[in-house]
Structure 1
Amino acid sequence: MSTDHQQARAALGVRLRELRESCPGGRLTGSALAEQLGWTQSKVSKLETGRQTATAEDLRAWAAAVGQPETEEELLARLRGLESRIRSWRRQLAAGMRPVQDVHNEAQAHATVLRAWESSWIVGVLQTPDYARAVLSSFARLHRTPRDVEEAVRARMKRQEGLYDSGRCYQILLWEGVLRSRVCSPAVLAAQLDRLQGVIGLDTVSLGVVPLDAVLKIPPGVGFWIYDDRQVVVETWHAELWLDDADSVVTHLRVWQALRESALFGADAQRLISRARRALDA
């Protein structure tokens, strides 16, 4: 968890303690508040010390219990600010995978220049339906989400409409390893590689591939998107990071540029894709 996130959660905890200690009817003890809410005292303590992230329901209940319902919106705004940076998969996927795809569709629809680096799989905007189905199914199993994979696949395919918008510019970098990663069946991967071959001809897309044997100025690291040099989205196993502070954006731009210097484009990228495709038939 990032230091910024820890600080924001701790600040929310301080505010919760302030509200408990300034009840209109007199100061409430932590144990009295816990009893009133039907919680354990340890939960109250963890929320106030920033060791546990409150839910929206927790905050509504807290504001009412301390006799200050007018603070509910303030507390919820603090939570939204905290979650705007780190969005746990547990919370995001509680309603299924389709809503997550819709959020990304909306974010990409409002961007003009989209830069990406991916070292684990083909980026969603370039995926075939079968490849997307295989990847999304694996994450549904991992996170034990409601099985709305088909709806999520359809939503992800809708995102690809942006590839044919002349006002957009996609600058995508892939690690060569993703061309060979068997996250799906060989037949599905073969079709996905054929799809990449065709994407290289689109005037809205610049697709670069970083060879496995390339000299790198920086380790590959995790994948990320940069939208209009103003927002970064990084995906980890437990959460997504949505970052819009200047330092984070500049750092990821520097990483992306360093990786781009090791990438191959055009006919050279085509050859790497073709080599991976032939290996499936060997």
Structure 2
Amino acid sequence: MDRPHWAPESIDVERPSVARMYDYYLGGSHNFAADRAAAQAMITAVPDAPLMAQANRAFMRRVVQFLVESGIRQFLDIGSGIPTVGNVHEIAQRLAPESKVAYVDVDPVAVAHSREILAGNDRTTILQEDLRNPERILHDPQVRKLLDFDQPVAVLIVAVLHFVPDSDDPAGILAELRAALAPGSHLVLSQASDDGRSDEERREADQIYRRTDNPLNIRSRAALTSFFDGFDLLPPGVVWVPQWRPESPEAAEDAERAVFMGGVGRLGG
């Protein structure tokens, strides 16, 4: 196939990417035939897959608006994905133009496209790095130049933790990030939960994502809640993402169909 200009030579366009599958669920165009085939297989197995991605994205937008209204002006978005409408910097800078956003993603397409989108915006940066290397993220010169960790920072890890197995110690990763944050900082998490899903759906989703570099690691509400250790969990706690401060009661109906659970914690002190 012809390689589009935005696709780095280093990537294997025949192997599905979770970032590009997510882009497809959201109606984006930065994906390949292999990504679309895997995403369609996921939709066949779990018809709510596009709704899941859209609900999670809407959760992220509501959270960013809440954080800006709470006085946060610095954001570290780890696992930011391929940019689509309603990115963190668009929401934050529309409400507070002085807001600064450091994006981090391991996917080369996500990083390359982000650089195009962010060109000329000196209050943003993009770093290619893995969540599992928190020390590299925290000490990266680009990140340090943009963000002042002596002031509150909101760390967003949205729809990413289910790609981090327990063997990689996600709790330890989050503890390392927490240790670098000033009081008043926030942690935003969401991840897929298998609460209420059938055994068949879980098996099929697991098999599909094993074709990518990032197999699924589905967790319960209790497991996700434990990741907020050291933070004060803000109301309404860890809930299905449509239930997190919905714009209307109707928006939270059938919330479990979203599959993603999420929450926001604040660092006291």
TM class by shorter-chain length?
Answer: under 0.3
Instruction: Looking at secondary structure, tell me which structure has more helix per residue.
Output: 1
**What's the TM-score, normalizing by structure 1?**
0.25
Q: Which has the larger radius of gyration?
A: 1
Taking structure 2 as the reference length, what is the TM-score of the superposition? 0.26
